[in-house]
Structure 1
Amino acid sequence: MTTTQHSPTAAASGASATEAFRTARGDGEGQVTSERIADVVQAVLAGVHEAIRAKQVSYAEFQAAKQWLIEVGEGGEWPLFLDVFVEHVVEEVTAQRQHGTKGSILGPYYLPDQRKLPSVATLPMRPDEKGTPLALSGQVRDLEGNPIPGAELDIWHADDDGYYSGFAPHLPEGNLRGVVVADGDGRFEVTTVKPAPYQIPTDGPTGKLIEAAGWHPWRPAHLHLIVRASGHRQITTQLYFEGGEWLEDDVAQATKPELVLNPRPDGEGKLRAEYDFVLEPHDS
């Protein structure tokens, strides 16, 4: 039985995730034609209509669904709900046109503009940070196997209790977050602590849905990364841990075999893992 603590409240996490999304998105991003909007929205509505007919949804159930949708909006939980239950399919569709390292979902806990760090670095953390020390090293290369000097690895993850800085008031700003800049050979080594599995917030409407459906709210332990370099398509991905809890039953359905690390102890109390990233050019 896991001893990982609950995540912060859904209301607090939802508000932070919504604000982070608005900040990172930028003005004018994602512009599409009216024809494309009509095409996609009509397909979504057709799917909803078909589910109502197939499952013979009653008026009472419809009203309950309407109330739940209102509560999700009022609680600021749309980033949480969409990132957990929908984003993995968008990522799967996008990946069909891409090459290089496998991607995964961004999730709701990304915060831009973190501290730049050298190629060999330790993520910012508290002096008494709990958890097993972990060193991740590797190289960033292009599709031809050439190193990419100065590639950036934007990395963030939960702490040993399953909390993310910026979404839990007791954590210092920027804790276990940073942007590691690879050296002239595209190499990097970042020291941090191994994160814990965590529950997505369950005290709001998303949690009510999970409970009502009899699902579990757990995500396996993972590192988040955005790997980017000039002239190349950036990769958003997550790295997991072999044998970890919930690895085969992730509530967000975001795990992939290619993204599982196999850390080994180095005899000095630290786990070490290696992972290389491959970026494709923008025009591929």
Structure 2
Amino acid sequence: MSTTETATAAGSGRNATETFRKKQGTGATGVDQARVDAVARDVLSAMHDVIRRHRLTYAEYDALKAWLIRVGEDGEWPLFLDVWIEHVVEEVANADRKGAVGTIEGPYYVPGAPEFTGEGTLPMREDEPGTPFLFQGTVTDLDGNPLAGATVDFWQADDAGFYSQFAPGIPEWNLRGVCRTGDDGTFKIHTVKPAPYMIPHDGACGALIEAAGWHPWRPAHLHLKVAAPGRQLITTQLYFAGGDYVTDDVAQAVKPELILDPVPAASGTGEEVTYDFALDPA
């Protein structure tokens, strides 16, 4: 069977949940009781206001309860939160940055990808489908000084819109890699252009999309985490000018500063683009 035939929301949800649990297990989880109290009260108050404003019926309440149970059963809490909530968390968290512009991480990041320095090609299948694509640039501080040894952690969907480790039949590190910048702060990453894709929609999140009359599409994009010692890590996504769904991304993650305008590659094969990252001090 092809990847398209076998990928499911439940399978993707399980993988996303397990990946998040591993990530959460490595970080501090200190709780400020007063802050939990304040945030939880405001969230509940907002929900109460919605119920009153829309005069929610018991039938609608029961439908909501059933749907919330299904979200958990399908393992889709990471997907739900990353698609419809994370873009506001990111907006607040990065409001004071002066350098590179961030956006959501999404549910498909996996640490530990293969590394190379300066210039390299992402792991990919023999005859990987898609237009060859060179993504290059320089990592600097806010004054424009190049940062040697910075890491550009890069991941993306393939030409069919699927991510390795989240859809069956794809090699483990396909289209994932970490490039360390050279002494001049530059990087060159050879890959293929990704495709737009529908978020997994045969589960609970898809049921919400269908019931509300929304669409499930994300525009084609590249994912990056860029970091250097003494600098703030930036997590972002980059999109393609004129691409489908750039203006109505289901995850509301597109920003004007993050839209690429590729040109024909100097090599004569495929396309290329230059995009630089200025990192804020830690």
Structure-1-length-normalised TM-score: 0.96
Q: Which residue of 1 aligns with 2:21?
A: 22
Identity of aligned residues (%): 55
- Uncovered stretches (5+) of structure 2, i.e. residues with no partner: none
Q: Which residue of 2 aligns with 1:49?
A: 48
- The SS at the match of 1:63 is helix
Q: Distance in 2 between matches of 1:30 and 1:210?
A: 32
Cα displacement (A) at 1:6: 8.2
Q: Which residue of 2 aligns with 1:281?
A: 281
Q: Distance in 1 between matches of 2:5 and 2:133?
A: 23
CA contact (8 A) 2:6 2:168 kept: no
Q: Which residue of 1 aligns with 2:197?
A: 198
Q: Which residue of 2 aligns with 1:127?
A: 126
Cα displacement (A) at 1:116: 0.8
- The SS at the match of 1:129 is coil
The residue correspondences of 1:1-284 to structure 2 (distance < 5 A) are: 8-266=7-265, 268-282=268-282
Larger deviation, residues 129-138 vs 265-274: 265-274
Cα displacement (A) at 1:30: 4.1
Structure 1 residues 15 and 271, CA gap change in structure 2 (3 angstroms): same
CA contact (8 A) 2:100 2:277 kept: yes
Larger deviation, residues 263-272 vs 212-221: 263-272
Query: Over residues 229-276 of structure 1, what are the superposed CA-to-partner deviations in whole Å (9 max), with x where a residue is unaligned?
Result: 111110000010010000000000000010111101126222010000
Structure 1 residues 39 and 203, CA gap change in structure 2 (3 angstroms): same
Q: Distance in 2 between matches of 1:6 and 1:256?
A: 32
Q: Distance in 2 between matches of 1:49 and 1:111?
A: 37
Q: Distance in 2 between matches of 1:245 and 1:30?
A: 39
- Uncovered stretches (5+) of structure 1, i.e. residues with no partner: none
Q: Distance in 2 between matches of 1:29 and 1:211?
A: 38
Corresponding pairs, count: 278
Cα displacement (A) at 1:29: 2.3
What RMSD in Å do the two structures reach over aligned CA positions?
Answer: 1.2
CA contact (8 A) 1:7 1:200 kept: no
Q: Distance in 2 between matches of 1:189 and 1:144?
A: 22
